[in-house]
Structure 1
Amino acid sequence: MNTTTRISTAERLGRSFGRGWRAYVRGERRASNWLVSKGVPAAGATALVWMVKLVALGVLLYTTFWLAMLLVCVMVVAWTARNADLGEELPEPEWRNGPAGFGLYTYDGFRIDPHVEDD
């Protein structure tokens, strides 16, 4: 039996996500401190960082909305194409008695076989 414990994929992904989040927070704090060092008040730097976050969220939601609308349009077109009778062909001619006697008639009543009027 192996005594070395192995971490699961979920734990590995969680740790990677945590490292990424900590790096993001450090970068945000560094940007805020840089703004303060340039003379922006601390409250103003915090507000500016939040405004950037909100603008990024707005752009993300705007893009997501239009992608969702595109997906809905594609689904409507696919549904319409599936339910359309584009491949519907006219009925085949059939042999029957009609106004010009027994013969081959189309769906709208015209005789299409060669026939002799004297019959």
Structure 2
Amino acid sequence: MTDTSTRPARAAATRWDRSALQTSAELLLGLSFAATTAFGGYAAATGHLAVFAQGAGIVFLVTLTCVLVSWFRAVEREERADHRVTAPVVPATATATATASVPSRPPPSRPSTPSTAGSGARRRQRRR
């Protein structure tokens, strides 16, 4: 068992681990949220710029969807990588000794009667 009282179980991700595209998408998410709230508040107060508020809202929702999908995919990749690292490995000597002690058997023989699945098609082929 690993002692995690003094160190984290996973390595902490730094802000430099992200790609430039992911960073720019997250920045666009914040800017589009600010634009949506600013234009929406102004449109509610004055009745002007409602089209800009709707456009900024659409950009915000699309960007939010893309960023959330990116975050969840990154978490899934980390979990798969953690699972691969912690998967138990069976030593080769244990499997070699286990298989050496099992006597080899001939493969089972096929039944002489045809199976019921597809037997009608086989009969039709025999008649031709």
What TM-score comes out, normalization by structure 1 length?
A: 0.37
Larger relative contact order (CA 8 Å, sep ≥ 6): 2
In terms of fraction of residues, the more strand-rich structure is 1
In our comparison, the structure showing a higher alpha carbon Rg is: 1
Q: Which has the higher helix share?
A: 2
